[in-house]
Amino acid sequence: MSNPLNTPLEILGGISAEVFLRDYWQKKPLLIRQAIANFESPLEGNDLAGLSLEEMVESRIVLEHGETPWQLKHGPFDDDTYSSLPERDWTLLVQAVDQFSPEVAEVLEHFQFLPNWRIDDVMISFAVPGGSVGPHYDNYDVFLLQAEGQRTWKVGQMCNSESPLLAHPDLRILDGFEQTDEWVLEPGDMLYLPPRLAHWGIAQTECMTWSIGFRAPSTAEVVTHYADFVARFLPDEERYTDANMSPVSNPNYIRPEDIQRLRALISEQLDDDRMLLTWFGQHMTEPRYPDLLVGSDLSLEQLKETLDNGAVFTRNPTARLAWSHIQLDTEQAAVFFVSGNSRIISEHLVVLLDLLCSADALYSGNLQPWLNDAEASTLLCELIKQGSLECIDE
Ligand code: SIN
Ligand code: CO
């Protein structure tokens, strides 16, 4: 269950979520010594290198002094890649490791003071001494958890798309870093960085850093995707109309009242709470690797039997779930977002929706009350069918 907003949180160095969100989130960096005391990484450099050999996994290596300066190589890699790397100055970065390692996904439990649908993934980097991806900025918030070894983190100026970059075909490395602070992070230490703050992490020893990154659609993405979504529901005959317009005195002139009609048309279509919620919920729950959602057909009878036999279901780490309330014509209902889709659910099932969203373990004990409810049990079977819930144990 979530903490009250004003409880001091260890993961935030003893400040509350309320203070963190007010003073730091999206505003300024925060260094948190021993955010996770005695942290021991469940993963080693070799495990990460192993993942980078997989076709499904997005991985990169940045070599500061490669065939070209700051050479970028894309995975999947093979054993030869690793045997040919120098002793210093390279970094392996693997995206969305939380999707492949439940132990890594567990770290997200510490961030329950933020909406789950804002979390993007846990990217993990492994670097040898001197390894760095260069000074840069990102357009999203990030918590950088030091998992192994030591890394120096320097922070600098706030940047934007006008900030000068080195000429590089793939990497956005800043041409100019105005350092304001510098810290050496040890295992368990964590650094929060707001979007667009210049930063530069340099490995002191062999080290591993976990980046808990957040999703924030760009305004351009919101505007274009939402407009496309709304347009799907608009028939061709819905058009700009100007019944009762006043006679024009100059036929070449666009008058303020013409624009006013346009504004009314746009706001009528775009400013719709139900459409906004539906699009946003679907967009923010789009899974990164939909191919990893592999379902199984299970009838209600089979589900009951499996649960009776001690089966435990959990949320597939690829599935992204969220819910909200929605106002229908005559009543309030819930809307459940499941990996880019949405469905209306009866209000009496909101407790189940919360259970499903946070589901670490669904078993006969906590599912029993729902198995005799037709809507709830259909939902459970469908979530299993499309792979959002998977059986981990019997
Ligand atoms: C890294 O872990 O080396 C880079 C992470 C970042 O700066 O975003
Ligand atoms: Co960064």
Taken in order of first residue, the domains within the chain and their CATH numbers are 4-214 (2.60.120.650), 290-393 (3.40.366.30)
Task: Name the closest-CA residue to atom 2, ligand 1.
Answer: 125
Ligand 1 centroid to residue 145 C-alpha, Å: 10
Ligand 2 centroid to residue 237 C-alpha, Å: 48
Ligand 2 centroid to residue 224 C-alpha, Å: 26
List the chain residues with pLDDT less than 70: 1-3, 393-394
At 232 the pLDDT is 96
Q: Which two tokens stand for residue 157?
A: 């100026």
Task: Name the closest-CA residue to atom 5, ligand 1.
Answer: 211
Task: Name the closest-CA residue to atom 1, ligand 1.
Answer: 125
Q: Is 278 in the pocket of ligand 1 (CB under 6 A)?
A: no
Write the DSSP assignment of 136-178 as a string of letters. B--SS-EEEEEEES-EEEEEEEE--TTS-B---SS---BS---
Ligand 2 centroid to residue 335 C-alpha, Å: 35
Q: Is 151 in the pocket of ligand 1 (CB under 6 A)?
A: no
Q: Is 125 in the pocket of ligand 1 (CB under 6 A)?
A: yes
Beta strand segments in the chain, E: 8-9, 15-16, 30-32, 59-65, 69-74, 90-94, 119-127, 142-148, 151-158, 181-185, 190-193, 197-203, 207-214, 312-315, 321-327, 332-338, 341-345, 389-393
CB burial class (10 A; 0-12, 13-18, 19+) of residue 297? Answer: exposed
Ligand 2 centroid to residue 211 C-alpha, Å: 8
CB 208 within 8 A of CB 148: yes
Q: Is 211 in the pocket of ligand 1 (CB under 6 A)?
A: yes
Q: Name the amino acid, one letter, at 79.
A: D
What are the beta bridge partners of residue 166?
none
At 392 the pLDDT is 86
At 360 the pLDDT is 77
- What is the C-alpha to C-alpha distance for residues 111 and 39, in angstroms, rounded to an integer? 16
At 4 the pLDDT is 72
At 309 the pLDDT is 94
Q: Is 209 in the pocket of ligand 1 (CB under 6 A)?
A: yes
At 31 the pLDDT is 98
At 41 the pLDDT is 97
pTM: 0.94
Ligand 2 centroid to residue 200 C-alpha, Å: 7
Distances from the Cα of 212 to the Cα of 38, 74, 255, 256, angstroms: 19, 21, 50, 48
Among 70, 92, 93, which residue has the most ligand 1 atoms within 8 Å of its CB, making it the best to mutate? Answer: 93
Tens-digit pLDDT profile for residues 224-279: 999 999 999 999 999 999 999 999 999 999 999 999 999 999 999 999 999 999 99
